[in-house]
Amino acid sequence: MKRLCTLAMLVVLALPGCGEEPTLEQQIIGTINELEELAEAGERGDFMDLVDEAFAGQHGTLLRMQFERFMILQWNQHRRLYAQLFPITVRAEGPDLASARFKALITGGRGLLPDSGQLFQIETTFQKSGDDWLLLTADWEPIRAD
């Protein structure tokens, strides 16, 4: 009986945390992880649903349609795409705007094992749209080994 009371008390104490709103950092990292999973799965439509209509990449030189074409090219060239993301730093830029900066090791290949890979420094901006955070900007630079 004592165990049952202890278990019931733990459940009651845990309940208030269940309904808490995720932090901004958790929300942005969740969106980044979702983009990663969709890209790895080749889910073009669902991936692009998380990209804002006003998207501008590579310092404004890559608009949304061009970014989609770029991603299609990547999916066509590499049957398998993988990304390993390194610490993600999130910063609020306004009430509905946030930035995230991180490194990503992107690998790809036609077979089971990757035959190419590159480490990138990535800087992004996300804009809140309804309940979702959408990718508004993305700039990436290869990190060269010296």
Q: What is the pLDDT of residues 54-111, one digit of tens each?
A: 999 999 999 999 999 999 998 888 778 899 999 999 999 999 999 999 999 999 877 7
Torsion of CA 53, 66, 38, 127, to 10 degrees: -30
pLDDT tier for residue 129 given thresholds of 50, 70 and 90: very high
Distance of CA 12 to the CA centre of its chain: 33
Phi, psi of 144 (to 5 degrees): -90, 140
Indicate the CATH number of 23-142 among 3.20.20.10, 3.40.50.620, 3.10.450.50, 3.40.50.20.
3.10.450.50
Predicted local confidence at residue 146, as pLDDT: 66
Identify which of 142, 136, 144 has the alpha carbon closest to the alpha carbon of residue 32: 136
* Per-domain boundaries in the chain: 23-142
Predicted local confidence at residue 4, as pLDDT: 41
d(CA 50, CA 61): 19
Predicted local confidence at residue 18, as pLDDT: 58
Strand-pairing partners, residue 82, are 107
Say yes or no to pLDDT of 117 above 50.
yes
Q: Which residue has the tokens 């690998």?
A: 107
Are 42 and 32 in contact by the 8 Å Cβ rule? The answer is no
